[in-house]
Amino acid sequence: MTTTQTTATPATQKLGIATTLALIFLLFSGLIFSAEDVVQGSTVRIMYVHVPSIWVAYLAFALTAICSAVYLSNRSRSLIWDRFAGAAAEIGVLFVAVSLVTGSLWGRLTWGTFWVWDARLTSTAFLFITYVGYLAVRRLGGTFRQRARRSAVMALLAVLEIPLVHFSVNLWRTLHQKASIADPNAKVKLDGFMLFTLFWGLISFTMLFVWLLIHRQRLMALEDAVQDQGLDLAIQQRRTEAGR
Amino acid sequence: MDLTPRPIADAESRAQRQRRRWVPIVIVALALAAGGVVVTQFLTSAIDYYCNVDEVGVRDGCVGQRRIRVQGIVLENSLQQADGVTEFMMSFNNKTLQVRYQGDPGGVFQECIPVVAHGRVVDGIFDSDRIEVKHTNQYVEKNKSRFDEATKETAACSQSPE
Amino acid sequence: METVVELSGVVAVLSSFPALAGIDLAVQRGEIVLLHGPNGAGKTSVLRVCAGLLPIERGEGSVMGVNLRTQRESVRERVGLLGHSNGLYLELTVAQNVAFWASAVGASSQEVALAMQQMKIDGRLADIKASQLSAGQRRRCALASLMVRRASLWLLDEPHAGLDTAGQDEFDAILRTAVNSGATVIFASHETQRSRSLATRVIRVEGGLISGGES
Amino acid sequence: MTSRMQTARRVSVAVARKDLRIEWNSKVLLNQVAPFSLVIMIMFAFALDNEGILQRVAPGLLWLATLFSMLVIVQRSFAVETADGALDALRVAGTEPVGIFIGKSLALMVQLFALELMLLAIALVLYTVEPTAMGYAETFATMAVATIGLGFVGTLYGGLGAGARGRETLLPLLLLPAVAPVLIGATRATEAAFGSGGAQSSEGWPWIGLLAVFAGVFGAVGALAFGPMIEE
């Protein structure tokens, strides 16, 4: 059976191709087509990866929390929600890391330092270690249900950090600049093609996230299914001990 | 010894069980709200990364002999660099402060740009040992501004700080 | 007759190993049921499922009318479990251990004194740390802690292990008293000679299933 | 309803007394944890002994040493429960999980507070910190409120990892991110109390408020979640 050898379906294959094309276009748009910034020069191009990365991380962690809440409130306690939560959190941690690395490279070139302990950077670092802890909880062992219950509680607590991180630049004075486009009462502070490239980055990274998420979830489902099929087999074997 | 099964406390009604579940949730919600108030109302001066130039010696946490971080815009034509010492005037909200810095500031340090300087006020001069450039959230294409290079020179310093 | 334990087709899993492979069991009030069978047959798991400790993976089960699938936590205050391990705090003295378990379930100090007296761990032994006791003395301490619970359903895993003959006799007498006062007992054991005479029903467990019974 | 709450209260008192009695009998805090934290404090002094750095960072070191020692205490607090299957026995005793949570938290808080007092004394001597009377009041307030929060978090996460394989290595990974807010808040508040780096004592109280919020959140979350967390 081909379906057992891959986690792809025609739909996700199409999504994968579309994501690849979108990312290739982002590469050209970000590195060649878009202009340098008056102050930053070429450094501004880091933004096209930095901002979409943290956006994907927010999206992933929010999804983790939503799936966890559904898992806890749903009487059937379907494990598919737990798998989506776990898959999203893994991807989210990866993208926070990407955002932190690209951000500190940009900081070195623009601010003159890799890292400062202002409210935005501190809270982002905090977000990162919290979700590393979340992934550690998922690896504690025990049954699937134990894993799901423990991690769901933690996900619901951890997601509260996202507004803290995002609005830290508005609540306090930070070295990190405020949002340039997500600020409701300010006009967009990016020139035309830069804005387009940034939007393109957001779209293509979101596609990448969805594609990764579906595959990771299916992989986890397969792992669980292997264990479940193993259970049927194991029950049969166990019964033969009794001579039946 | 009497080993009669111990009577069990009456099982709770469904409503009581529901209510007991809600109590901690309400406490969490209240505590979080209180946390929001503490963090946004009382801790701002502690969490803020810098003082503005006009607040030096005025605002809580920006006074005294302690180390502070000051933000302001590097005044046009005030930048002097000699023997590894950088001196410039930093201004914010019509107040200016003279800054003396050992070494070459990194990043995109230049005139007409907001910076954050770490150090102490000594005899009215800000003695700094670290300077970070505070980039604004404005991004301007270079190619486009090349057409009006002349206006940029005068306009850049007037760009509104955050 | 009042059914105390009812398991039908119960599968219970110990980290992906099916310790119970679809077991059926019904126990009436007042019975003393002996579970026996080879090592790893699933005897301990039956006891842990009945105590509401081990969740049910498949099948249905109830203890004293409480559904083990949906509210196994509420079963626990009615059962007393004595496992392989004694559940003692090794740094506490005998008296402190029994007193703690008594206060956890709301037993009186009078009951503590009686239980310790019956298990012969009062007097000199009472102020010795559990870590310094012999295996048999620890078992006595655990049994005393169990007695003060005054459970409706007693679940015992190898209760006689480590006890001397006198201790085994004393404990059997205690179990009979409890059953006469309205309790039910399920216990797992290898020592079939003594156990068979104590039990009112003998059930053989093998491969996570009931493989034979006699009454 | 009331009988449930009475049960929970009775269990919490019993569990707290039991844990403290175990400590009294075994003296692990006195013989192992206290020397451990003393060594940490001295090592900090060796590493950072120059031109008043030590004085400036004393509050942070104080709280770091507290957190490291806390890992040991929490580990130990649940090791006694799992050594002879006592945690299973507690669960099956039908005791309200809330009672176990509060009882173990209380015992942890008492031990932590005793340890913090000792660490404060060491900091006063080794790091030449000299708080004012107001500073002392602020320091004790910080310790009290931070300890409540640490007790709740430590018990919740200790219970989470109690049955797990390799919990000795996992516990720090779980617990340290969770107590990061306490480290930040308590350090800032203590800096204000000590006047480290020119901080004013009035700057500390909002941080103590934040610590109180943290304690409230984790107390409520623990009451709600501790039972499910220690379940199979």
Per-residue pLDDT tens for C101-112? Answer: 999 888 889 999
Quote the CA–CA distance of C20 and A238 in Å, as a whole number: 8
Is the CB of residue C149 less than 8 Å from the CB of residue C101?
yes
Quote the CA–CA distance of D118 and D60 in Å, as a whole number: 16
Q: In chain B, which residues have their Cβ closer than 8 Å to the Cβ of A183?
A: 137
The partner residue sitting opposite B145, judged by closest CB among A38, A40, A190, is A38
Q: Which of A174, C120, A224 is nearest to B48 (CA)?
A: A174
Low-confidence ranges of chain A (pLDDT < 70): 1-5, 182-188, 243-244
pLDDT along chain D (232 residues), means of 10: 74 94 92 93 86 84 95 92 88 83 96 96 89 92 97 92 74 86 92 84 88 91 87 76
Q: How many CA atoms lie within 13 A of C112 on its CB side?
A: 17
CA of A196: how far to CAs of A27, A28, A35, A48, B55, in Å? 13, 13, 12, 10, 39
So what's the pLDDT on residue B157? 62
Q: Which of D116, D17, D33, D119 is nearest to D74 (CA)?
A: D33
* Nearest Cα residue in chain A from C22: A235
The verdict on a CB contact (< 8 Å) between A242 and C57 is no
* C209-214 vs C201-206, strand pairing mode: antiparallel
pLDDT band at B144 (very low <50, low <70, confident <90, very high): low
pLDDT band at B117 (very low <50, low <70, confident <90, very high): very high
Domain boundaries, chain A: 17-32+43-178+190-214
So what's the pLDDT on residue B146? 45
Question: Using CB atoms and an 8 Å cut-off, which of residues 118-137 of chain D contact chain B?
Answer: none
Beta bridge partners of C62: C6, C67
Q: Which of D189, B35, C80, D65 is nearest to A171 (CA)?
A: B35
So what's the pLDDT on residue D142? 96
Q: Which of D20, B151, D98 is nearest to C73 (CA)?
A: D98
* Nearest Cα residue in chain B from A122: B47
What residue has token string 């007759």? C1
Q: Concatenated DSSP letters for D115-163? A: HHHHHHHHHHHHS-----HHHHHHHHHHHHHHHHHHHHHHHHHHHHTTT
Residue C151 falls inside a structural domain = yes
Domain boundaries, chain B: 14-47, 51-136
Quote the CA–CA distance of C157 and C45 in Å, as a whole number: 10
CATH number of the domain that residue C55 is part of? 3.40.50.300
pLDDT band at B149 (very low <50, low <70, confident <90, very high): very low
| Touching subunits for chain A (3+ Cβ pairs under 8 A) | B, C, D
So what's the pLDDT on residue A97? 97
- What domain range is D54 assigned to? 2-229
Mean pLDDT of B66-90: 88
Count CB atoms within 10 A of the CB of residue B17. Answer: 13
Mean pLDDT of B92-109: 87
Within chain A, how many helices (H) and strands (E) appear?
7, 0
Per-residue pLDDT tens for C171-213? Answer: 999 999 999 999 999 999 986 788 888 999 999 998 888 887 7
Mean pLDDT of C154-175: 91
Q: Does A143 touch chain D (CB under 8 A)?
A: yes
Strand intervals (E) in A72-226: none
- What domain range is C33 assigned to? 3-87+136-214
Quote the CA–CA distance of D155 and D151 in Å, as a whole number: 6
The partner residue sitting opposite A136, judged by closest CB among D170, D181, D231, is D170
Residue B158 per-residue DSSP state: G
Q: Is the pLDDT of residue B161 over 60?
A: no
Report the number of distinct structural domains present in chain C. Answer: 1
Q: Show the CA angle centred on residue C158, arms to residues C154 and C164, nearest 5°.
A: 110
Average pLDDT of chain B? 79
Quote the CA–CA distance of A198 and B24 in Å, as a whole number: 43
Is the CB of residue B137 less than 8 Å from the CB of residue A188?
no
The verdict on a CB contact (< 8 Å) between C53 and D85 is no
- Top CATH class of B51-136 equals mainly beta
Quote the CA–CA distance of B136 and B144 in Å, as a whole number: 19
Residue C172 falls inside a structural domain = yes
The partner residue sitting opposite C18, judged by closest CB among A145, A234, A243, is A234
CA of B95: how far to CAs of B60, B89, B105, in Å? 18, 10, 22
The verdict on a CB contact (< 8 Å) between A230 and C16 is yes
What residue has token string 């990365």? A53
> Letter for the amino acid at C141?
C
Per-residue pLDDT tens for C65-102? Answer: 889 988 888 888 889 999 888 999 999 999 999 999 99
What residue has token string 């508040």? D189
Query: What's the whole-model pTM score?
Result: 0.88
Positive or negative CA dihedral for A71, A133, A163, A40?
negative
ipTM given for this complex? 0.85
So what's the pLDDT on residue B153? 43
Per-residue pLDDT tens for C138-159? Answer: 999 999 999 998 999 999 999 9
Residue C111 falls inside a structural domain = no
The verdict on a CB contact (< 8 Å) between A44 and B116 is no
| Touching subunits for chain D (3+ Cβ pairs under 8 A) | A, B, C
Report the number of distinct structural domains present in chain D. Answer: 1
So what's the pLDDT on residue D137? 93
